[in-house]
A and B are shown apart, each in its own frame.
Chain A
Amino acid sequence: MSEITEVPSPFCGIGTDDLTIQVDGLKISVVENGCAVNTPAFEQPIIDRKARINGKEVELNEAISHAASLLKNTNYPVIGGCATDVNGMRGLLALADRTGAVVDNMNFNNARKNLLALQDSGWMNTTLAEVKNRCDLLLIVGADLEGFAPRFFEKYLWNEAMFLENTSDRDIIYLGTKPSGNASTSPNGKTAHVFECENESLPEVVAVLRALVKGQPIHAENVAGISIADLTAIADKLKTAKYGVVTWAAGALNYSHAELTVQTICEMVKDVNQTTRCSGFPLGGKEGDQTANQVCGWTTGYAARVSFAKGYPEYDPFLFETNELLNNGEADALVWVNAFNVQANPPKTNVPTIVVARSGMTFEQEPDVFIPVGTPAIDHEGHAFRLDNVVAIRLKKLRDSGLPSTAEVLNAIEQVLREESIC
């Protein structure tokens, strides 16, 4: 039995790297600094050790050859999931380039809300250490921050900071969703201001808030049940804070064209910056989402939802969606990659399916090929990006499971196809 300290996590998105983990053979136990997100993700046991073809256990080489043969004569395969480490994504993109596939990260419908706003008007954003040391006002729009990252308040707000005398005095404001617990109550008992409304009403609430920040006259007395006086007070706080931070979770904005809400938030942050400092801080990036977007970004120019069908990368945030392509009969094969989460199953489909996923994934419909792979940060070293996009964490190897990495499997499939195309 051994104990490993300062273990970084790719699961929670905030790059927690203070976990203490006990390893007993293949058994992993989080003994310090675990949380509801990280502990089960690390402790998930290894179940499958062998690859399968149509449910029958085979040697790894056989599964790789069969996967290559399924992809060989396809016209429009889709590689979905895209939940892995940097090297896994490198292998995935090489395979896509080779096969003319579509590459589609499974959470992109959420990330798209941010990306469309970014690509239309841009933003002014910040990272975790700036939040930790500078943020004197945190405005949370439509998100349950502690539900997203259980240790967020403990690690990044109720800490000692370089530029705040007493971090317990930070102002926390919720707009929309109310918090699910008390993590936002500061150690000295100061509670968050909560202005509740349905998330579906956030477009108008945020639009009015931005108008108030800009000093536009508002004739209504309330919007979606929140009084204009309260919104005016929030606008004033944003303008008087030294370093306000506005955060949102694109995944929680569950209504059409939520990118317009994101855009309004981002433009409001820019407005506030005419006189004081303020930054946006999008929540997201769990289980390799940010990693997928970054590697796809530098390899193709586009962060996600890229088709290689024409021989070069094309980006379409709507057309190249995995489920659309499967449901309308365009795709003729599916490769599903998820090295992190056994619950994240491939979509149901009749086309040949190859699953390269974390050991223990169960299927309603057995795929043609299933190759269990090691999990980055547990079974092999690797790199993952944190939610704030700037920081890549170095993932450790905790045990010797003998499971191949995503990169090894995808590179091997690509290698078979390359050799066949040369012959």
Chain B
Amino acid sequence: MLIKLTGGTVYDPASGVDGKQQDIYIQNGKIIDKPTGEFLVTKEYDLKGKVVMSGAIDMHTHIGGGKGNIARTLLPEDHRQDPVASNDVCRSGCGHAMPSTFVTGYRYAEMGYTAGFEPALLPINARQAHMEMGDIPILDKGGYVMLGSDDYLLRMLTAKKDQKAINDYVAWTMQSAKAIGVKVVNPGGINAFKFNQRKLDLDEQNSHYGVTPREILRVLATAVKEIGVSHPLHVHGCNLGVPGNMDTTLDTIQGIGGLPMHLTHIQFHSYGTEGDFKFSSGVAKIAEAINKNKNITIDVGQILFGQTVTASGDNMRQHANHKFASPNKWVTMDIECDAGCGVVPFKYKDKNFVNALQWAIGLETFLLVEDPWRIFLTTDHPNGAPFTSYPHLIRLLMDRTFRNDVLSTIHPEAQKMTTLASIEREYTLQEIAIMTRAGAAKLIGLQNRGGLSAGNWADITIYTDNVDRQKMFEKPDYVFKDGEVVVIDGKVVHTKWGTTHIVKPDYDKSIEKDLKAYFDKYLTMKVDNFRMSDDEFTEDGRGSLTVHDLKAVA
């Protein structure tokens, strides 16, 4: 079977192709060079005038794991407003804020996405997260394992274990939980909340361990680098949502000392304390710091107006924010000397000063950070907004007139507190392709994904060019996953199962002795029962694991 995509206008930043008419050949699920000599094309698609990109990759989206399922269980009234019926191809389910697993896969694919990465894989909850993602059709997936509030690591730091020991533990945890990256959430803060601390600044000590967030960030960022994981330490910083937290964020950037670091949903960490309401945008300074420090990457965590639900590992901050719950119900959990979670429904309102300014802060961030290879398009689904709002967000970025029209409708005091109206930048198609494809694949360390040159898997999205970018991006003409057509005219026509992307960093096996003793003494599971095995992914005949190379470590 040889498929030819003929004459489309290709945006493939991974190969430096920016809007050039090119043919693409697909065989056995992969993109190949034009065959030499005589060859027979089995199926040809005439794509003249169409826009061709690789399948989009969401590098930070909460699509698997316990907190998401708590969010689902908490909100039957939200599901009732968006029931999804089954058809010949698709299973039934529900949509809106926290869609069911099957609907998650369909709706991502229908927007041209072919991969999504769960950023908060709790080691002890990794099985659930992978099983949920195992029920998400079409998409490839993967996860960043969460460390930093686990008692084992904090005990190591108190005991002054060396960096090598920490590297081994991080590598062991990544292998146990089948992860492709490492995340830290409110470093040490989730743990401190269990000791009744209600906030934890960058240099504030955990009352039991005496360890600070700054130390945790340093050892974890170092570990990730030294064991050769491509994806930099994925950081949800201290003081999420607190006015004035821009200083913490700036300090975090400086404090990491040039190590690779990804600051996630930075919108929630870019707040100042100026103005009548003591809440202001800190983006000018944050963007300046990001532009200057090439070791830093970010995703935005844009908020968009409407009902959603926030689901986070940061139970310290979620507990502090529970008074904003809308509807007024919320859950927090302390989890297994490992982590925690908090689920708080939110309704972001354009006529609310804080929400309106949050919206502007996110957009300022997109527009003031210069390098599209170091910024990523996210709403921190579902925390800032459900992922289904991406086409709207892309229009806001690509269309200044539309953006300013929306800006003119938000809370008037918020309009006065943002420079948004004066920012002329409009994202180009190539910049969108970088943020949502090539850049994301590079950041995560995915080989043979996110590009359209020969050797890549044929994850391809084809759009009809439209000045209304929302309409363009919400309804692709075709989506190919591993060379198979899965979407036509924005509707799923065929489903398949994606793979799970992981890395397998080596570790010194001798650490397992101490881990076994720790598990036996303090935890509630045997260490061998804790570790996930490969057959847990493959035994149902649907899943697979794709192991990516590590970086060579100097």
Residues of A within 8 A of B (CB): 6, 8, 14-15, 17-18, 86-87, 90, 94, 97, 115, 118-130, 132-134, 155-156, 160-163, 242-243, 273, 276-277, 279, 293-294, 297-303, 308, 310-315, 381, 383, 385, 389-394, 407
Contact = CB atoms under 8 A, between A and B. Distances in A.
Interface string B97-134: 01111100000000000000000001011011001100
B522 A162 contact: yes
Contacts of A86: 131
B547 interface: no
A315 B77 CA distance: 10
Interface in B284-339: 319, 325, 328-338
A32 B185 CA distance: 40
B489 interface: no
B337 A6 contact: no
Given A121-B329, A122-B330, A294-B128, 19 more contacts: A118-B73, A118-B331, A122-B325, A123-B331, A124-B333, A128-B336, A129-B524, A294-B69, A298-B69, A298-B132, A299-B93, A300-B100, A301-B100, A390-B124, A391-B125, A391-B127, A391-B524, A394-B529, A394-B532
Interface of B: 66, 68-70, 72-76, 79-80, 83-86, 91-94, 98-102, 122, 124-125, 127-128, 131-132, 135, 151, 193-196, 208, 319, 325, 328-338, 343, 521-526, 528-529, 532-533, 535-536, 539-540
A393 B126 CA distance: 11
B92 A311 contact: yes
Contacts of B86: 97, 308, 311-312
A301 B93 contact: yes
B522 A277 contact: no
Contacts, number: 193
A308 B334 contact: no
Contacts of A6: 526, 528-529
Given A6-B529, A156-B524, A300-B100, A118 B92 contact: no
Most buried by A among B72, B85, B325: B72
Contacts of A391: 124-125, 127, 336, 524-525
Given A121-B328, A311-B85, A390 B125 contact: yes
Contact of B83 (A8, A294, A313, A407): A313
Given A162-B151, A299-B101, A390-B336, A313 B529 contact: no
A122 to B, nearest CB: 4
Nearest to B331: A122
A124 B332 CA distance: 5
A123 to B, nearest CB: 6
A299 B100 contact: yes
Nearest to A266: B331
B194 A243 contact: yes
B522 A132 contact: yes
A8 B127 CA distance: 15
B493 to A, nearest CB: 15
A130 B335 contact: yes
B333 A390 contact: yes
A301 B76 contact: yes
Contacts of B524: 14-15, 127-129, 132, 155-156, 391
Contacts of A302: 72-73, 76, 79, 94
Contacts of A383: 127, 131, 536
Nearest to B539: A381
B76 A119 contact: yes
Given A119-B76, A163-B208, A301-B99, A390 B525 contact: no
